[in-house]
Amino acid sequence: MRNYWSCSKFADWVRGTAKPTAETSRGWREWNETAKTSHPIRYWIVEEGLDRVQNFINWPVTKLHDIKYYINNRWVTRTHALTAHPRDIRPGDWSDVGYRFLPCLFNELVEFVEVELAWWHIVWDDKARAEFKAPFYARGWWRWRVWRSPAAGLANLEWQRNLRHDEEWIGADDPLYGKLTPQAEKANEILALYMWWTVERPVRPDPHDASGWTAWCDRRRQEDGVPFWDLEDRNEEEREQSRHILDECHRLEQQFEQEDTDMMIRLIKIRQGLWT
């Protein structure tokens, strides 16, 4: 608001009524009605006339901003596309559509936390900028959305996920008083999904290793001295063992596949909370 002339101290003086820095929807409606009724002409001069003058004077700068953000959105952050990190899908490798969904969606979640929320955490806070050593290109005109700070993004989520309904918004007798806000609930879910993708899923065991199938095949290759595709169970006992191990491998694969699906569904459900 501080960049709008109609929100300046000069505007308050011309209008005759001070504009709040923050309000509820009801509060803004009441303020507009009061300000317009008290001084209708002065209200129009500031809220309509001053904005038009500012828009006219700032037109060249606005156009430069438009060009900058087009370049940023088109070639830097590519907000028209979902992208996979090279560690998940190497550029040039073929990847079926069904396989692309999971890494593309969760890579975008990582970008949201480590870039967008990191920016949000430092943009209005001088102390936070110093704490997270935000460079000059992390904010203002020079921002190109290339500064990444997982720590700053997580700090922002920590702040969001503890937001509660308080006297600033509702009365102490309201049933929601003291409870987490919808924003906080979404932040908790975002944090859980981010940690699953970046911390928990990468250390998930390979089903072939965890089931014992890799060790079983390695031992059989050494014993028989033939490639994997030529291995054959030599008796009913071996056949039963291999069947049991392979069934466990398939069980783990299905378990992990279901976990991936469940996490994608959870991410889709909180998509409206992914904003800055």
**CA 91, 116, 148: angle at the middle one, nearest 5?**
60
**196-207 mean pLDDT:** 97
DSSP annotation of 273 reads G
Closest CA to 128 of 144, 149, 146: 149
Q: Please, where are the H alpha helices in the chain?
A: 9-15, 25-38, 40-44, 51-57, 59-71, 97-111, 118-123, 126-131, 150-160, 182-195, 207-211, 213-224, 236-269
Average pLDDT value for the chain: 90
b/e string for 188-199 if b means 16 or more Cβ within 10 A?
bbbbebbebbee
pLDDT reported for residue 83: 85
88-97, 127-136, 171-180, 213-222: which has the minimum mean pLDDT? Answer: 213-222
pLDDT reported for residue 229: 54
67-76, 136-145, 219-228: which has the minimum mean pLDDT? Answer: 219-228
CA distance 231 to 54: 79
pTM for this prediction: 0.81
pLDDT reported for residue 1: 38
**32-56 mean pLDDT:** 92
pLDDT reported for residue 220: 77
**85-108 mean pLDDT:** 93
